[in-house]
Amino acid sequence: MTMTDKLFREGALLPVLTVVLSIIVIWYAGSIRLNSPQLIDRYEKNGLDWTFAELAFDAWEMERPVLPSPHQVGIELKKTVIDKPFTSKRSLVYHAGITLSSSLLGFALGALLGIGLAVGIVYVSTLDRSLMPWIIASQTIPILALAPMIIVVLGSIGITGLFPKSVISMYLCFFPVVVGMVKGLRSPEPILIDQMRTYSASATQIFFKLRLPSSIPFLFASLKVAVALSVVGAIVAELPTGGQGGLGARLLSGSYYGQITMIWAALIVASLVSASLVAFIGIMERIALRRLNGGQAALG
Amino acid sequence: MKTVFKNREISVGLGAGLLVLALMFPPALEQTWRQIPNAIFGVAMLAGVFALVAIVRIAPRMTLIAQLLLLLSALRVALDIVHLDSVQGSGRLGLWLWVSALGFAVWHVMKGFSSQKADATPNSLVDRIVVPALFGVWFLALWEFITTGLGIPRVLLPSPSLVGESIAGSLNVLGADFNQTVVRAVIPGFLMGNLAGFAAALAADRWPFLGRGLLPVGNLVSAIPIIGIAPIMVMWFGFDWQSKAAVVVIMTFFPMLVNTISGLRSSTPIELDLMRSIGASHWQTFKRVRLPNALPFVFNALKINSALALIGAIVAEFFGTPIVGMGFRISTEVGRMNMEMVWASIAVAAVSGSLFYGLLAMAERRATFWHASFRQSP
Amino acid sequence: MSLDTDQNEIVVQVDNLSLEFTTSDGPVHALSDINLDIRSGEFISLIGPSGCGKTTLLRVIADLETHSAGDIRINGVSPADARRQRAYGYVFQAPALYPWRTVRKNVMLPLEIMGLPRADQQERAARYLEMVNLTGFENKYPWQLSGGMQQRVSIARALSVEPDLLLMDEPFGALDEITRDHLNQQLLDLWRKTGKTVVFVTHSIPEAVFLSTRVVVMSPRPGKIIDVIPCVFDKDRTLDVRETPAFLEVAHRVREGLKAGHSYDDD
């Protein structure tokens, strides 16, 4: 059970709504504050009198706002998500599809790599001592900075399209999976492993009957982190490809053409994609844990 | 596979066999191979001694250190050979057999140092450093062997030595980039973001209603690609470091908020009952129990944020910068196919990221020495 | 039977006390109609199966829970006032020591809260650590000590506020029997030396009978008192007293009381 579910059971709906509402109120207020200097300039240039109500209204409806108001973003979303056919290059669904496919591929590759490395680390002590410190170090370096280079280098040897972008996602994904799986595979109490030994279970049997099932809760916790990272990786990987497609490309072209509403819309779609992927893993987790625990409510 | 690596004799035997094979095959084209008999002779001598020492194993620890030294010199010689004009880009089977033999030797020595730990020698700290360090050296050496031996084009993947030259040759530029990105954007942003997140967590703790609302929102934010606000920040705060610092503030805020809230909730009922039973005030309980219990969580957030902060600042630079900064350097040099410089920037970023992380880890060890993950049992 | 504490003043006075928890399955009667007077210098054990409310009763005395009906007075005042006056020391099931404080600083914790001068804090910490035979371990961290030593530190901490009343909630429950016997003997010595009033929760019959002046037998659902059994043994008793017929007789009566409460039938 995720933290969020638990909180909702404890009656967090009202507080969450309050926080969300205050964010929207602050957003509207911020949009007046940030857009007003330009507007006041314009009023003064044209020698117009203005009231605060007029200012607020104009700020929320500005053509090229510094901070678009929530409903402007909403209209942009409707325009680019619902009104356009999904196949159109101007549809955010089309771009979200591109980002989603490369992040999913990267996520799958990263999860497999992570699980494989974790098994190696748990079973081969030399790997544990030689590789583990570097796996940790690999994440202290800003790997996203490699994105442009990986795209260009792989492109120059003829590998383009989905795969180079997925490599970035994969690199971001494998780390939480390794760490979580190592912890998970090591989580069975020594007494349980001894018990398996008394049954003279083989190493494979211990792995599939004890270590693997014990690691499932850890695996899912890591997968949730990893899937969110895979979207980040895909978006950043789309930056250097400039305008070919994907939410990252939308962010970049929005920033080139000063279309701030477009950036916000792309950002919100990216958040939705990411949050629904995390939610999906959460559902899978609940199903898996329910099956594992024989119908009992999942923990943690 | 497990049994192969478990059995030291087989591992040594395989390594020695590969060595013998390596001596039988030419490492490069026949005619160039003839020009370097002396160096190869040296390698063969070292290899022979190495194999002998590996097999004898009279005094395990001395043998291990001797093996390590011999291995390092063998690597050194091998690197020299691969850089010979006649070998560069024309490596043949013999060279790769030789490299694989070295690989086995590295594995063997790492294994030796790893298994030493079981009898808890006083040198275990040294061993803890030796094993990963050797792995790192081997990784770089292998990279060098492959790029140089196969003659991989520099635009594709420059060798570590070329990157090293590039770093040495452009210290000024790299220093300026470091100053722009790390000193001016990352550090202030990191401090502000963490402080704000911590303060918000304190407020959420003081007013539980706020906490119940903020925590789910904070968790939701952790699932969204917050890096996407970078272009917006660049539009708001301009091309200079302020926009990058703003991205860093926003990226570091939520991990600190969420972790600190859970940390402040991590005190056990019995610890809180104790404080109540001795009539402690809210503030006394907070300061003496709940805050210390939250510290490991706070450090966890700081460590997560150290990586996020650097990523945030560099990626934000992709959306526009003055003509200085690590992100700017990477994206422009990629455009000019000057890969040595790209890798040099990445190396600087990697080293600063690791140092940043290392400092935090040291501070964590000092501040939360009592935590189960650091304790040395009685 | 008469006890030499019969004429002492009453320290804890419990009248018709009840406590109900509301859970999702409806109300739970944790304590029902409890009447108990504890006099100064007594050593009272609360014994019963899990769920009988013995810990809850102790927590009500300590103002860690609030009763829903009846009345309870500690030295004539409410538990909340008694708590603020630091009238009691509480020893928990687990040592509840803070891992970031040394043994000495753990014992000093309640004294810091009380705002005692630093020199007094240190003097008292040294004195009570000596009383539990832990001199020389002041600068160790709790996690460097064994379980029994940790529990002794927590006893020293409870004593350090110099309360007349000591509340102990299964303090030795997690320890092995040899350590437990040893600590029981030490606790008895301590009680004899200091003359404190002790309320002691346990589920061990020999422990209760060995330590106490009176054993209070409780039963669950609802938590109530079934029997109060006086144990009049020699003040200087040692662990050997457990082999005597008189001891076995009292232990038998406690066991009968526990049986009468149907305590194990529906557990």
Residues B146 and B202 grouped into a single domain: no
Q: Per the CB < 8 Å rule, is B356 touching A140? A: yes
Q: Which residues of C touch B371 (CB under 8 A)?
A: 99
At B54, the pLDDT band (50, 70, 90 cuts) reads low
Note down the domain range covering A196. 92-299
- Tell me what pLDDT residue A112 has: 94
Q: Which domain range does residue B45 map to?
A: 2-152
pLDDT-derived band of residue B50, with 50, 70 and 90 as boundaries?
A: low
Find tokens 């539009």 and name the residue.
B235
Asked if the Cβ–Cβ distance from A254 to B231 is below 8 Å, we say: yes
Q: Does C90 touch chain B (CB under 8 A)?
A: yes
Question: Does residue B25 lie within any of the structural domains?
Answer: yes
B174 and B305 fall within a common domain? yes
Q: Which residues of B touch C94 (CB under 8 A)?
A: 270
Which residues in A lie closer than 8 A to residue B131 (C-beta atoms)?
A: 126, 129-130
Rounded Cα distance between B123 and B96, Å, is 34
* Contact residues on chain B for A23, CB-CB shorter than 8 A: 217
Q: Is the pLDDT of residue B142 over 70?
A: yes
Backbone torsions φ then ψ of B70, nearest 5 degrees: -60, -40
Q: Is residue B161 domain-resident?
A: no
B278·C114 Cβ contact <8 A = yes
B359 lies within 8 A of chain A by CB: no
Judgement on whether residues A55 and A149 belong to the same structural domain of the protein: no
The subunits that touch chain A, with at least 3 C-beta pairs less than 8 Å apart, are B
Reported pTM:
0.76
* pLDDT higher than threshold 60 for residue B31: no
Same domain, B303 and B172: yes
Cβ contacts (< 8 Å) between B368 and chain C: which residues?
100
Q: Are A151 and A165 in contact (CB under 8 A)?
A: yes
User: Between B90 and A294, where is the model more confident?
Assistant: B90
Chains in contact with B, where contact requires at least 3 CB pairs less than 8 Å apart: A, C
Kindly state whether residues B71 and B186 are assigned to the same domain.
no
Q: Cβ A130–B310 below 8 Å, yes or no?
A: no
Give the per-residue pLDDT at C263.
46
Of A22, A50, A67, which residue constitutes the final position of a domain? A67
Mean pLDDT, rounded, of chain C: 84
The answer to the question of residue B105 being in a domain is yes
When scoring C56, C77, C92 by the number of chain B Cβ atoms within 10 A, the one with the most, hence best to mutate, is: C92
Q: What are phi and psi of C33, to 5 degrees?
A: 55, 55
Quick check: B284 contacting C, CB < 8 Å? Answer: yes
Q: How many domains does chain A have?
A: 2
Same domain, A191 and A120: yes
What mean pLDDT do residues A74-103 have? 79
pLDDT band at B21 (very low <50, low <70, confident <90, very high): low
A137 CB neighbours in chain B (<8 A) are 350, 354, 357
Does residue A109 sit in the same domain as residue A255? yes
B223: closest CA of chain A, how far (Å): 5
pLDDT tens per residue across span C89-116: 888 888 888 888 899 989 998 888 888 8
Pair A118, A63 in one domain: no
Residue where a domain terminates, one of B88, B117, B152 = B152
**How far apart are alpha carbons C267 and C257 in whole angstroms?**
16
Residue-wise pLDDT for A143-184, tens only, equals: 677 777 777 777 777 777 788 888 888 888 888 898 888 888
b/e A218-229 (16+ beta carbons within 10 angstroms → b): bbbbbbbbbbbb
Calpha distance C106→C120 (Å, rounded): 15
Question: Is A177 within a domain?
Answer: yes
**pLDDT band at residue B2, thresholds of 50, 70 and 90?**
very low
Closest Cα in chain C to B268: C96
Q: What token pair was written down for B54? A: 């590996």
Tell whether the model's pLDDT for residue B195 goes beyond 90. yes
Q: What is the distance between the alpha carbons of residues A170 and A106, in angstroms, rounded to a whole number?
A: 4
Residues of A in contact with B233 (CB under 8 A): none
Residue B345: its chain A contacts at CB < 8 A? 145
Using a CB–CB cutoff of 8 Å, tell me whether B285 touches chain C: no
The answer to whether B132 contacts A7, with C-beta atoms less than 8 Å apart, is no
B147 membership: H or E segment, kind and range: helix B124-149
Contacts of C90 in chain B (CB under 8 A): 273-274, 277-278
- C145, B273: Cβ pair inside 8 Å? no
Domain boundaries, chain C: 10-87+163-260
Residue at A79 is within a domain: no
Q: Compute chain B's Rg from CA coordinates.
A: 27
> With an 8 Å Cβ cutoff, is B292 touching chain C?
yes
Q: B315 and chain A: CB distance < 8 Å anywhere?
A: yes
CB within 8 Å: B228 and A224:
no
Average pLDDT, integer, range C160-170: 88
Query: Position A207: which residue type?
Result: F
β-pair partners for C43: C198
Q: Write out pLDDT tens, residues A259-299.
A: 788 888 888 888 888 888 888 998 998 888 887 765 444 44
Output phi, psi for C73, to 5 deg. Answer: -130, 135
Q: What is the pLDDT of residues B290-310, one digit of tens each?
A: 999 898 889 888 988 888 888
Average pLDDT, integer, range B142-171: 85
Asked whether residue A158 falls in the same domain as residue A33, the answer is no
pLDDT of residue B196: 94
B110 and B223 in a single domain? The answer is no
The CATH number for A245's domain is 1.10.3720.10
- Given the structure tokens 């003997």, which residue do they identify? C185
Q: Do B273 and C64 touch (CB under 8 A)?
A: yes
Q: Is the pLDDT of residue A24 over 70?
A: yes
Residues A24 and A136 occupy one common structural domain = no
In this prediction, residue A2 carries a pLDDT of 47
HSE, side-chain direction, 13 A CA sphere, residue A50: 20
Give the model confidence (pLDDT) of C23-78 as tens digits.
Answer: 777 777 888 888 888 888 889 999 988 778 888 899 999 888 888 888 888 888 88
Residues A183 and A61 in one domain: no
Which whole number is the average pLDDT over C161-183? 85
Percent of chain B with pLDDT strictly greater than 90: 5
Q: Does C114 touch chain B (CB under 8 A)?
A: yes
Query: Is chain C in touch with chain A: ≥3 Cβ pairs within 8 A?
Result: no
- Residue of C210 and B56 predicted with greater confidence: C210
* Record: contact B280-C113, CB cut-off 8 A: yes
Question: Residue B9: what pLDDT?
Answer: 60
Nearest to B346 by CA among C38, A30, C167, A146: A146
Do A294 and A155 lie in a common domain? yes
Contacts of B158 (CB under 8 A, 6+ apart): B147, B166, B339, B340, B343
Q: Does some domain include residue A162?
A: yes
pLDDT in tens, A178-234: 888 888 888 887 777 777 777 777 788 888 888 888 888 888 888 988 898 898 888
Residue of A175, A98, A183 whose CA lies nearest to A144: A175
Cα–Cα distance for residue pair A222/A204, rounded to 1 Å = 24
Nearest CA in chain A to B311: A142
Residues B246 and B123 in one domain: no
Average pLDDT for chain A = 79
pLDDT at site B41: 56
Q: Sort A75 into a burial class: Cβ within 10 Å, 0-12 / 13-18 / 19+.
A: middle
pLDDT at res. B249: 92
- Answer whether C19's CB lies under 8 Å from C56's CB: yes
- Which of B273, B278, B372 lies nearest to residue C86, judging by beta carbons? B278
Instruction: Mutation target for B interface from A67, A122, A140, A151: give the one with most B CBs within 10 A.
Output: A140
CA-nearest of C57, C65, C68, C66 to C14 is C57
Q: Are residues B11 and B36 in the same domain?
A: yes
Probe site for chain C from B277, B291, B364, B369 (most C CB atoms < 10 A) = B277
Read off the pLDDT of each residue in B124-132 and give the average, rounded to a whole number.
70
Helix (H, G, I), strand (E, B) or coil at C180: helix
The enclosing domain of B174 has a CATH number of 1.10.3720.10
pLDDT single digits (tens) C106-143: 999 888 888 888 898 899 899 889 888 888 898 888 88
Pick the CATH number of C10-87+163-260 from 2.60.40.10, 3.30.1330.10, 3.40.50.300, 1.10.3720.10: 3.40.50.300
Domain annotation covers residue A77 = no
Does residue A74 form part of some domain?
no
B195's CB contacts (< 8 A; 6+ apart) are none
The Cα B73–Cα B42 span in angstroms is: 10
Find chain C residues with C-beta within 8 A of B377's C-beta.
Answer: 143-144
Same domain, A184 and A279: yes
Q: How many domains does chain B have?
A: 2
pLDDT grade, residue B66 (50/70/90)? low
Q: Work out the average pLDDT over B37-66.
A: 59
Closest chain B residue to A249 measured between Cα atoms? Answer: B228
Choose among A19, A129, A232: nearest Cβ to B131. A129
pLDDT at residue B119 in the model: 47
Strands C214-219 and C43-47: parallel
With H, G, I as helix, E, B as strand and everything else as coil, classify residue C264: coil
Identify the weakest region by mean pLDDT among B84-88, C70-74, C82-86. B84-88
Whether residues B222 and B288 share a domain: the answer is: yes
Q: Specify the range with the lowest mean pLDDT, choosing from A279-293, B8-22, B123-137.
A: B8-22
Identify which of A83-92, B58-67, B246-255 has the greatest average pLDDT: B246-255
Q: Does B370 touch chain A (CB under 8 A)?
A: no
pLDDT for position C18: 87
In a domain, B157, yes or no: no
How far lies A59's CA from each of A31, A32, B24, in Å? 7, 5, 80
